[in-house]
Structure 1
Amino acid sequence: MKIGVVSDTHLSSSVKALPRALTETLRGVDLILHLGDWVAMEVYDLLSELAPVEGIAGNNDGYEIIQRFGEQKILTLEGLRFGLIHGHAPYSRKGTDGNALLAFQGEQVDCILFGHSHQPLMRRENGILLFNPGSATDKRREPEYSFGVLEIRDGAIDARHIFYPSKS
């Protein structure tokens, strides 16, 4: 199973297209997961043209997105449990990855996917893969834009970031 992972798109309803690097890579994946701060439901529509979409809301999302997706969930994919959270809460004093870990404390998860910081991150803690795709459209302090691709094979997760210089 191949999964695209996106977060912090921060796009307005007037945006008509996503970055070419994102659309070319994610077209036809099995699933796209958005980790919040869509800002506009039009982002869902654009991603849905590429593949089925699931996700959660972030701190910059309005009522419609919160109602549609919720703010935290666990998905079971190919027998593995994925925790999805934006990463701004609950506040841990240990950064966005600390917030994400705290959100799933006591839960059995194989991977925690989160965003919020716009900073790509991939590491393991206590056997759990922590993965932040960065931002495909709002890189802030990062040198490049980014998103993620996860592949599940034989009960294992192969995760990687895709980096690119331009959001067009």
Structure 2
Amino acid sequence: MMLVVKKLSAVKIGVISDTHIPERCEKVPAEVIDAFEGVELILHAGDLTSTAAIEELKKIAPVKAVCGNMDSLEICKNLPLKEIIRIGKFSIGLIHGRGNPKYLVDFVKNQFAEKPDVIIFGHSHKPMNEKINGTLFFNPGSPTDTMFAPYRSCGILEINDKIKAQIIRLND
């Protein structure tokens, strides 16, 4: 499935992953709600573990999400494993990720036949904002968990004639 957004002005997108609600947090943290003020779309890279996060985030903007490795069969039957979103001239691959975090970038890269301009992924809970061989690899981290990362985080993409990506560090 592919979502296409055609717009001439800048598009601001909230990016989130690994919410693990309610296991790690009762609801989407207030800092995320504040950070996503004014976004036109929210991309969730999986491990929702319940639909509560999507329901909360839908109050801000439309949400596209993919299934993560911790999501139940009930959640995964309604979500794809990966998706390509086109915004203007750019393509964004949205996927969760699997396996050893050491090989995560290679894993997510190899899941897309076409080479997206951006690959948004999760799984490791570790924020990443790095361009490798022309592709931006963007992991927003987790807004609810610091077990595998030094801080909680989410992200923002701003797209116009170029892509600007930002990791937002949340309060501890």
TM over 0.5: yes
> Is 1:51 the counterpart of 2:57 in the alignment?
no
1:35 corresponds in structure 2 to: 45
Q: Give the letter for the 2:32 counterpart.
A: L
TM-score (norm 2): 0.87
Alignment of 1:72-91 (within 5 A): 72-88=82-98
- Larger mean Cα displacement after TM superposition, 78-87 or 34-43: 78-87
Of residues 142, 159, 163, the one that matches 2:149 is: 142
Cα deviation, residue 64, structure 1: 2.8
Mapped partners of 2:97, 2:117: distance in 1:
17
Query: What residue is the counterpart of 1:21 in the other structure?
Result: 31
Q: Determine which of 159, 162, 165 is the counterpart of 1:159.
A: 165
Whole-angstrom distance in 2 between the partners of 1:26 and 1:165: 15
CA distance in 2 between partners of 1:142 and 1:118 (Å): 6
> What residue number does 1:12 align with?
22
Residue of structure 1 aligned with 2:129, choices 118, 122, 128: 122
Query: Structure 1 residue runs of 4+, over 3 Å off?
Result: none
Contact 2:43 2:65 in 1 (8 A): yes
Cα displacement string for residues 53-97 of structure 1 (whole angstroms, at most 9, x for unaligned residues): 0010100111232122211111111221111110116x7x95211
Query: Over aligned residues, Cα RMSD in angstroms?
Result: 2.0
Identity rate of aligned residues, in percent? 39
Alignment pair present for 1:112 and 2:119:
yes
- Tell me the TM-score normalized by structure 1: 0.89
2:124–2:148 CA contact under 8 A, matched in 1: no
Count residues with an aligned counterpart.
Answer: 162
Counterpart-to-counterpart distance in 1, 2:51 and 2:153: 21
Asked if the contact 1:139/1:146 (under 8 Å) is kept, the reply is: no
Is the alpha carbon distance of 1:94 and 1:103 closer, same or farther for their aligned partners in structure 2, counting shifts above 3 Å?
farther
Q: Does 1:98 align with 2:103?
A: no
Deviations 1:84-133 (A, max 9, x none): 110116x7x952112111112x3131110000000001111111100000
Q: Any conservation in 1 of the 2:115–2:135 contact (CA below 8 Å)?
A: no
Unaligned runs of 5+ in 1: none
Secondary structure in 1 aligned to 2:156?
strand
For 2:131 and 2:35, how far apart are their aligned partners in 1?
25
